[in-house]
Structure 1
Amino acid sequence: MEDAFGAGQISGEVPVADAKVRVAWLYYVEGLTQEQIAEALGLSRIKVIRMLAAARSEGLVKIRIDARSARQAGLERGLVTAYGLSEAVVVPAARDPASISALVGYAAGSWLSDKLADNMSLAVGWGQTLHQALRGIQPRQIEAMSVVSLLGGLTHSRSINPSAVARRVADMFGADCFQLTAPVFVSNAELRDALWREPTLRELRDRARAADVALVSVGDLLPDSTLFREGLLPQSDLASLRKAGAVGDLVCHFIDADGELVDHPVNRRIMAVSPADLKEIGLVAIAAGGANKEHAIRAALRASAAKVLITDEGAAEALLAGGAKAQQDERRAQG
């Protein structure tokens, strides 16, 4: 039996990378079983399984699921209606809560890949979800595209750096990348204001406001949220931020339930494009999941005027239930 490339078996001279491609082609495109592939290529079934796993992990194979379950579709329609969105994407609930950012992020990357075209500009935030979004992006060459980072960077990062997310997205599309070359948190408000007076940083801020699309995430006020887990802010700030009314952060700005900036010293030290600036961008998409982020996501939608929400079933259900309750409370107050 011949494989898709016309060879009966994989000889010892075939490069390993080529062998992985052959195995992946037969399995995902030709529809052969693992046993059939093993027989066709003269391999053991265990070897075939390992090569398929390697093809996935190395990015040789990218799986995309475009179908929606009836439950997902219903939640998406509900979110669009309840929050005045143009589009909602809801992924299935994760079996492990630790996987929520991976699932939502992957969906965000797929969504972004479909939206971008020649001559477009993209503004991007950061966080675990957007870091995971890189996995869902389908790289290709896009002419005259630019990517703008919405936040400053870190002098020391263990895993996620705001500037790295923008740079990697730009590389995937062959795009120009514009970085906010300042620390994401500075020591005081005076220094922040002085930095924003720098012509190059003012130009970057204007470029971000003029972007065609923005993809941002939302943080909550928990010890394991990105800002606190990565040590950008001390855990001791959690209590004072909650006392100030904060329910979460959007591009590192802490906002209350109404989407307004809270009066807290942290908000005066941030080198990042503000939530108000996001409202000037053509299309803003928020990618965030988890029922625990309900209040933060709702606040971020208000703060940014986002028209796209990419989330999971848990957060979608919480947002719809919470929105319905708020409407009932408002009607009671008026009645």
Structure 2
Amino acid sequence: MLDWEERKRLAQVANLYYMEDCTQEQIAQKVGVSRSLVSKLLQKARDVGMVEVYIKDEDFRTVQLEYQLEKKYGLEDVVVVSTSELTPEMVKREVGRAGSHYLSKSLKDVKRIGISWGSTLAELVKEYPVEQREGIKIIPLVGGLGTQHVEIHANQLAYELSKRMNSTCSYLYAPAIVETTELRDRLVAMKDIASVLEEGKNVDIALISVGSPYQNSTMRILGYLQDEDLEQLRKAGAVGDIASRFLDGSGNVVNLPLNDKVIGLPLEQLKNIKKVIGVVDGIYKLESLSAALKGNYMDALIIDEQTALALLKDN
């Protein structure tokens, strides 16, 4: 049993360390004992049950998932967002918020940011804090024109993100996918379009997401994909897309005419970018995301917990 004086000393040391955030050296000076004795007193406080150290289950679970995904796919960073009791809309918002925080902390020595398109990246931009980043320029990585869902087009996202950073942006005045390869060739040869595509090759950070052409497909909603296109994609083994370019289950670019009609950064050039951040939510994108990771198109991944768990089980 501890006597009153010893219990009082343990409580004093524990309070200074755990509640007042003092270092062991500072505690030693305040209490008038050696630093080694402070360490022993803190251990004793835990041994007798005066102090209980625990890891918050939710945070510990997501941290474990992050480590396991980093190891499995050779990623630099993974951020897993807890999705307990959240609706799909709330999950998308939370993944976007996590992505915005991660981006904000990754901008040292960054001069150019490339951005693709989609609803998850739109949430990232909405959640991005207003900052002073005058030296940074935002570049759209894929075309996007039209009047439907303008808020998720790469040009609009580049503009909105530049406003939040108090910086500048470029505009890629072209659709994501055109009718023929001949039209694509003519457009990408135009000076204004060619210059933005060149900028896209040289960004320091790229923000991307992945999509499924078969479920909740924004490309289908926008009219880029018709029934005959989906049939071609199925026959070619396409499982998803990055920046409107389609991949098979192994992460290889699918060899079909649709990929040759895209105006945007080719995926082989995406791999040359120093840091590619994938921001993805929704378990229906599992096959698409798995393909993108197998193709080594990302360096960092921001993802919801449910999809992260499914990825770990995926072969």
Same fold (TM over 0.5): yes
Map 1:117-136 onto structure 2 (within 5 A). Answer: 117=108, 120-136=111-127
Q: Give the C-alpha shift of residue 98 in structure 1.
A: 4.2
Q: How does 1:315-326 map to 2 (within 5 A)?
A: 315-322=307-314, 326=315
Structure 1 unaligned blocks of 5 or more: 1-66, 327-335
Q: What CA distance in whole angstroms lies between the structure 2 residues aligned with 1:170 and 1:270?
A: 25
RMSD after superposition = 2.0
Whether 2:80 is the aligned partner of 1:82: answer no
- The answer to whether the 8 Å contact 1:184/1:270 transfers is yes
Q: 1:235: how far off?
A: 4.4
Amino acid at match of 1:146: K
- Greater shift after overlay, 182-191 or 157-166? 157-166
Instruction: Verify the 8 A CA contact 1:276 1:303 in the aligned structure 2.
Output: no
Residue 155 of structure 2 corresponds to which residue in structure 1? 163
- Counterpart CA distance in 2 for 1:85 and 1:304 is 9
Distance 1:134 1:303, change over 3 A: same
The match for 2:182 among 187, 190, 195 is 190
Q: Answer with 203-212 or 223-232: which moved more.
A: 223-232
Return the offset for 1:103: 2.2
Given the alignment of the two structures, is residue 261 of structure 1 paired with residue 253 of structure 2, yes or no? Answer: yes
- Give per-residue Cα distances to partners, 1:8-45, cap 9 Å, x unaligned: xxxxxxxxxxxxxxxxxxxxxxxxxxxxxxxxxxxxxx
Instruction: State yes or no: 1:107 paired with 2:103.
Output: no
Asked if 1:205 corresponds to 2:197, the answer is: yes
Determine the C-alpha separation between the residues in 1 that align with 2:227 and 2:94: 27
For 1:28-177, what aligned pairs fall within 5 Å after superposition?
69-93=59-83, 95-117=86-108, 120-158=111-149, 159-177=151-169
SS in 2 for 1:155: coil
Q: Percent identity?
A: 33
Question: What's the CA shift for 1:118?
Answer: 5.8
The alpha-carbon deviation at position 262 of structure 1 amounts to: 1.3
Q: Structure 2 matches for 1:209-248, cutoff 5 A?
A: 209-248=201-240
Amino acid at match of 2:204: D
Q: C-alpha distance in 2, partners of 1:127/1:104?
A: 13
Decide whether aligned partners of structure 1 residues 295 and 119 sit closer, same or farther in structure 2, where only a CA change above 3 A counts: closer
Asked if 1:181 is matched to 2:181, the reply is no
Aligned length: 257
Rounded to whole Å, the distance in 2 between the matches of 1:114 and 1:141 is 13
User: Would the alpha carbon gap of residues 68 and 204 (structure 1) be closer, same or farther in structure 2, given more than 3 Å must change?
Assistant: farther
Consecutive unaligned residues of structure 2, counting only runs of 5 or more, are 1-56
Match of 2:53 in 1: none
Hey, what's the Cα distance between the residues in 1 that align with 2:295 and 2:58?
29
Regions of 4+ moved over 4 Å: none
Q: What residue in structure 1 maps to residue 291 of structure 2?
A: 299
